[in-house]
Amino acid sequence: MKNEILRFDNVTLTYHTKRGETTAAEELTFSVKEGEFVAIIGPSGCGKTTLLSLAAGLLSPSKGTVTRHGSCGYMLQKDELFPWRTIEKNIYLPLEIKRQNTVERRARAVELAKKYGLSDFLESYPPQLSGGMRQRAALIRTLATEPDILLLDEPFSALDYQTRLNVCGDVASIIRGEQKTALLITHDISEAISLADRILVLTKRPARVAFEHELDFGGETRPIKRREMGNFGAWFEILWKELNV
């Protein structure tokens, strides 16, 4: 059995504002194992982003424990590349922050960028790139510090449909190619089915794990191929019903 990278144990999170308190998550228990690609889907406003903040350690749970073995890389809806830095400098950003800005680390990051089609854009500034390219650069930036787990917060939702399918395929191949562990949060059922090994379905706020599924695509990891397979539709139907309970 593989090691657990991330584990939530009876996690409850309540946050306070002037108007009152909101329970965003309640008694949440699940884990992500090494090399696994887990997707979490839930109705909108169920506190998905809160969950990632908990996983990243930006928030502490009110009750229960979050255990993470190793470092994490966070990828947001928008690429959030800094427009005053070149793509290359953007990719170095987490290295600078984590004080790992060594020659070897930088070389690895650039190698990764070149491997995944960014070699011509290293000297460019973000506004000169297409949305898809920018999101790809954001992924390379996330991978630069070689995190043990990737936290993906609806990373394709800001892209148009065609770009979205393409970038989704790219991201899948990069993450699988680098054998990374990933936790994806999305409201898009088909995206979750096309990417993940395992899917967790959350309830409305306060979020709890309502259902959990291992997907059976027989080792097929390419999103676009999965979409063509027979059981894709069946999974969609199951998850759609569970989401609307």
Partner 1 sequence: MKKEFSKEHRQYLAKKKRNLALIWVCRIGILLLLLGLWEMAASLGWADPFLTSSPSRIAVTIASLYADGSLFYHIGVTLLETIIGFVIAVAVGCAVALLLWWSETVKRVLEPYIVVLNALPKIALGPLIIIWFGTGSTAIVFMTVLVGVIVATLHMLTAFMATDENKILLLRSMGASKFQILRKLVIPSSLPAFISMLKVNVGMAWIGSIMGEYIVSRAGLGYLIVYGGQVFKLDLVMSATCILCVLAAGMYALVVLLEKLIVKDAES
- Least separation in angstroms between CB 75 and partner 1: 9
| Among 196, 161, 69, 129, residue whose Cα is nearest residue 140 | 129
Q: How far apart are CA 26 and CA 31, in angstroms?
A: 15
Residue 206 near partner 1 by CB under 8 A: no
Helix axes 131-143, 87-97, angle to 10 degrees: 30
Residue 47 near partner 1 by CB under 8 A: no
Residue 234 neighbours by CB distance under 10 Å: 11
Centroid of chain to Cα 228:
23
Which of the 8 DSSP states describes residue 62? S
Residue 219 near partner 1 by CB under 8 A: no
Token pair 């009152």 is found at 20
Q: List binders of partner 1 among 172-201 (CB under 8 A).
A: none
Give SS3 for 181: strand
Helices marked H in 23-150: 48-56, 87-97, 103-115, 131-143
Of 87 and 113, nearer to partner 1 (C-beta) is 87
Residue 240 near partner 1 by CB under 8 A: no
Show the site string, 146-175: x = touches partner 1 by CB under 8 A, - = not: -----x------------------------
Specify the pairing of strand 149-153 against strand 181-186.
Answer: parallel
Show the site string, 128-147: x = touches partner 1 by CB under 8 A, - = not: x----------------x--
Q: List binders of partner 1 among 69-128 (CB under 8 A).
A: 72-74, 76-78, 80, 82-84, 93-94, 96-98, 124-128
Residue 15 near partner 1 by CB under 8 A: no
- Least separation in angstroms between CB 172 and partner 1: 22
- 71 phi, psi to nearest 5 deg: -90, 165
Of 142 and 186, nearer to partner 1 (C-beta) is 142
Residues that bind partner 1 (CB under 8 A): 56, 58, 72-74, 76-78, 80, 82-84, 93-94, 96-98, 124-128, 145, 151
